């Protein structure tokens, strides 16, 4: 992949990595659109960041610890969360066969 | 007197004096929704039978009907993020913001349309059709929280909870002439809010006045054990600071924001608002935010990277439909983020952007050594027409030019209506403050509102 442009082959590869199924016309369209977006955001390369640290938390939080126990709020009672799965049993949800 | 036109404080007074009931208020809004919503598509879900709990009578928002962007989990109620992937998803749990509002006595009347997953600036990326601007239905309401802003402008709720990752509260607030607050990152819990970009996402109130906004914020703000990114410090009672002296406060005017590309009417309307603020005693100071030109690029590297990771969980196995249901903009951002995080490009793109983010944050820190708050337009142009930018994603991204720096720096910003174009399209300014200094922004916005007068409402034919 060349910086600042994405060929149709690149887009097809990215779609595979992201588990997205794209049609040929979508691949063509995204190749053009993503290339022009990358072209624009490549302006960042001109900024000198050699002495700059990364920012991930803007309010200066680091390593927030909590007690190793689950509160009632965090716990979804009686496996209710499984009820929203399309293929579910009583105590599990089903996945596609992988082997 | 129409109940749906009254402020929170006015409704509360009527309720306390037993001049009306929560049922009567709710019915007033619901009747209005049935009449107006088909014309503007602000709501994706309307709750016809509310749960009115009279044991909440002494709570601050008792009996006040409100809407939430459809990105919040609300137990037993459909939650879609305006995405077909979640078409049939019924939340099994409550978001913290929803829990807090319930405990404050407020009543959810519906869930509002938005750009799917919060991806957009016009609400045209909703998988359930766009919302239309109540001021002129040929125009967009802004996005991504466009349904929330439109529901307020059209008096279809008393306040609304939006979500702001790169301007998604402030742009629609500006386009619909309502008030919107993007709080400091970490002030309000994001637990149960469908994630777009986790280092930028903020939960905030939208309302028809600054006072209403302050009343809702004091219910929402505060630490939450379910969201480790919330600040542990105790938030103030914001409404009690409204009306305190602002004379002598220094107002920063960033020269980079008042340059090329700004619409003439927007420029002259903001200039008039700045004069009004000076009459209240604030002192203008020219400042510089030199990294402004890199904000959009930085944002469109960090946000898609984080969204590609956040949307990876939608596999159709535990909930939702398959990944085939993603709309065009979601796919575009997932692929952009997948690229910028991929091996060989991570350092050049994602990591580079996190470093430029530091410089953008430093810009604000430096500015706040000299000034108490910053004023800026919310948008360089008035609302644009439906369809005007949909075929050009980059052009759409540039709508957020004055908004995204605030999210990258994590600082708070309040969008306040200040006028209209000749065609009656709304214009707003935003007030940007120091981390956790919502108090100053709300107080200045409130005093401006007293001078400027109560906002007009659109006539919807």
pLDDT tens per residue across span B56-98: 999 999 999 999 999 999 999 999 999 999 999 999 899 999 9
Residue A92 has pLDDT above 90, yes or no: no
Task: Give B-chain residues touching A93 at CB under 8 angstroms.
Answer: 317-318
In a domain, A22, yes or no: yes
Give backbone dihedrals phi and psi of B379, rounded to 5 degrees, phi first.
-145, 145
Percent of all residues in chain B with a pLDDT value above 90, rounded to a whole number: 91
Task: Identify the weakest region by mean pLDDT among A62-66, B72-76, B228-232, B351-355.
Answer: A62-66
**Nearest residue of A to residue B392, measured between CA atoms:** A33
State the ipTM, two decimals. 0.90
Distances (CA, A) of B7 to A48, B179, B214, B345: 50, 13, 12, 51
Per-residue pLDDT at B243 = 96
For the residues A66-83, what does the mean pLDDT come to? 71
The tokens describing B366, both together, are 């430096």
Q: How many domains, chain A?
A: 1
In a domain, A97, yes or no: no
pLDDT tens, position by position, B124-154: 999 999 999 999 999 999 999 999 999 999 9
Helix (H, G, I), strand (E, B) or coil at B426: strand
Active site residue B231: no
Task: Give A-chain residues touching B316 at CB under 8 angstroms.
Answer: 86
Containing H/E element for B44? strand B43-46
In a domain, A36, yes or no: yes
Per-residue pLDDT at A78 = 53
**Measured between alpha carbons, how far is B378 from B380 in angstroms, rounded to an integer?**
7
For the residues B152-165, what does the mean pLDDT come to? 98
Give backbone dihedrals phi and psi of B69, rounded to 5 degrees, phi first.
-55, 145
In a domain, A20, yes or no: yes
pLDDT tens, position by position, B401-444: 899 999 999 999 999 999 999 999 999 999 999 999 999 999 99
* Distance from the A33 Cα atom to the nearest Cα atom in chain B, whole angstroms: 7
User: Could B92 and A59 be called an inter-chain contact, meaning their C-beta atoms sit closer than 8 Å?
Assistant: no
Could you tell me the CATH number of the domain that includes residue A21?
Answer: 1.10.20
**Nearest residue of B to residue A88, measured between CA atoms:** B318
Per-residue pLDDT at A74 = 65
**Measured between alpha carbons, how far is B446 from B453 in angstroms, rounded to an integer?**
10
For the residues A11-24, what does the mean pLDDT come to? 96
Per-residue pLDDT at B59 = 97
- Domain hosting residue A27, numbered range: 8-46
Residue A3 has pLDDT above 80, yes or no: no
Active site residue B28: no
In a domain, A63, yes or no: no
Catalytic residue among B168, B177, B209, B405: B168
Residue bearing the bigger pLDDT, A78 or A71: A71
The tokens describing B36, both together, are 């107006």
Q: A73: pLDDT confidence band, cut at 50, 70 and 90?
A: low
Q: For residues B154 and B458, is the Cβ–Cβ distance under 8 A?
A: yes
Helices B8-16 and B210-220 sit at what angle, rounded to 10 degrees? 80
Per-residue pLDDT at A82 = 74
Residue bearing the bigger pLDDT, B167 or A74: B167
Q: How many interchain CB pairs under 8 A, A with B?
A: 159
Residue A1 has pLDDT above 50, yes or no: no
* B447 contacts: CB under 8 Å, gap ≥ 6: B242, B243, B246, B280
Per-residue pLDDT at A90 = 66
Q: Is A70 on the interface with B (CB under 8 A)?
A: no
Choose among B334, B349, B411: nearest Cβ to A18: B334
In a domain, A39, yes or no: yes
Residue A89 has pLDDT above 90, yes or no: no
Per-residue pLDDT at B163 = 98
Q: For residues A6 and A41, is the Cβ–Cβ distance under 8 A?
A: no
The tokens describing B355, both together, are 């470093």
Over chain B, what is the mean pLDDT? 96
Choose among A34, A52, A66: nearest Cβ to B332: A34
Fold of B3-452: Amidase signature (AS) enzymes (3.90.1300)
In a domain, A73, yes or no: no
pLDDT tens, position by position, B276-335: 999 999 999 999 999 999 999 999 999 999 999 999 999 988 889 999 999 999 999 999
At which residue do the structure tokens 């077909």 appear?
B84
Percent of all residues in chain B with a pLDDT value above 70, rounded to a whole number: 100
Active site residue B69: yes
Residue bearing the bigger pLDDT, B264 or B456: B264
Task: Give A-chain residues touching B353 at CB under 8 angstroms.
Answer: 44
Residue B170: CA atoms inside 13 Å, Cβ hemisphere, count? 32
Choose among B294, B312, B408: nearest Cβ to A47: B294
Q: For residues B404 and B167, is the Cβ–Cβ distance under 8 A?
A: yes
């Amino acid at each position: 992949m060349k910086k600042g442009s994405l060929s149709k082959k690149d887009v097809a590869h990215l779609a595979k990595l992201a588990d997205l199924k794209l049609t040929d016309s979508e691949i063509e369209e995204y190749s053009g659109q993503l290339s022009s977006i990358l072209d624009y955001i490549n302006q960042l390369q001109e900024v000198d960041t050699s002495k700059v640290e990364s920012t991930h938390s803007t309010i200066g939080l680091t390593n927030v610890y909590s007690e190793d126990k689950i509160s009632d709020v965090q716990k979804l009672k009686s496996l209710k969360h499984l009820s929203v799965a399309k293929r579910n049993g009583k105590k599990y949800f089903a996945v596609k066969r992988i082997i | 007197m129409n109940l749906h036109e009254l402020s929170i404080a006015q409704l509360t007074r009527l309720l306390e004096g037993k001049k009306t009931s929560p049922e009567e208020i709710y019915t007033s809004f619901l009747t209005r929704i049935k009449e107006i919503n088909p014309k503007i598509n602000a709501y994706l879900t309307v709750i016809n039978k509310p749960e009115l709990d009279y044991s909440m009578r002494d709570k601050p928002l008792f009996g006040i009907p409100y809407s939430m962007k459809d990105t919040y989990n609300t137990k037993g109620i459909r939650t879609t993020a305006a995405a077909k992937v979640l078409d049939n998803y019924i939340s099994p749990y409550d978001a913290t913001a929803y829990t807090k509002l319930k405990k404050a006595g407020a009543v959810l009347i519906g869930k509002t349309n938005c750009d799917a997953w919060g991806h957009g600036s016009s609400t045209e990326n909703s998988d359930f059709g766009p919302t239309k601007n109540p001021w002129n239905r040929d125009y967009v309401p802004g996005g991504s929280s466009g349904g929330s802003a439109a529901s307020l402008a059209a008096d279809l709720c008393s306040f609304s909870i939006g979500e702001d990752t790169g301007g998604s509260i402030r742009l629609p607030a500006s386009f619909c002439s309502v008030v919107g607050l993007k709080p400091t990152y970490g002030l309000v819990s994001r637990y149960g809010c469908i994630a777009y970009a986790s280092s930028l996402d903020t939960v905030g109130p939208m309302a028809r006045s600054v006072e209403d906004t302050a009343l809702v914020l004091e219910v929402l703000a505060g630490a939450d054990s379910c969201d480790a990114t919330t600040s542990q410090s105790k938030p103030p009672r914001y409404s009690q600071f409204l009306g305190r002296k602002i004379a002598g406060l220094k107002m920063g005017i960033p020269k980079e924001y008042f340059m090329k590309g700004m619409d003439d009417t927007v420029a002259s309307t903001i200039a008039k608002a700045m004069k009004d603020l000076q009459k209240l005693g604030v002192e203008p100071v020219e400042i510089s935010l030199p990294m402004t030109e890199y904000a959009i690029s930085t944002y469109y590297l960090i946000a898609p990277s984080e969204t590609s990771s956040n949307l990876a969980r939608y596999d159709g196995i535990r909930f939702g439909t398959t990944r085939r249901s993603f709309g065009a903009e979601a796919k575009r951002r997932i692929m952009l983020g997948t690229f910028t995080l991929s091996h060989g490009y991570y350092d050049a793109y994602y990591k580079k952007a996190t470093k430029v983010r530091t410089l953008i944050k430093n810009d604000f820190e430096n500015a706040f050594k000299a000034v108490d708050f910053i004023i800026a337009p919310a948008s360089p142009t008035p609302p644009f027409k439906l369809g005007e930018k949909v075929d050009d994603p980059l052009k759409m991204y540039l709508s957020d030019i004055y908004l995204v720096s605030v999210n990258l720096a994590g600082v708070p910003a309040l969008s306040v209506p200040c006028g209209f174009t000749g065609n009656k399209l709304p214009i707003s300014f935003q007030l940007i403050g120091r981390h956790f200094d919502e108090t100053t922004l709300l107080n200045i916005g409130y005093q401006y509102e007293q001078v400027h007068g109560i906002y007009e409402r659109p006539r919807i034919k």
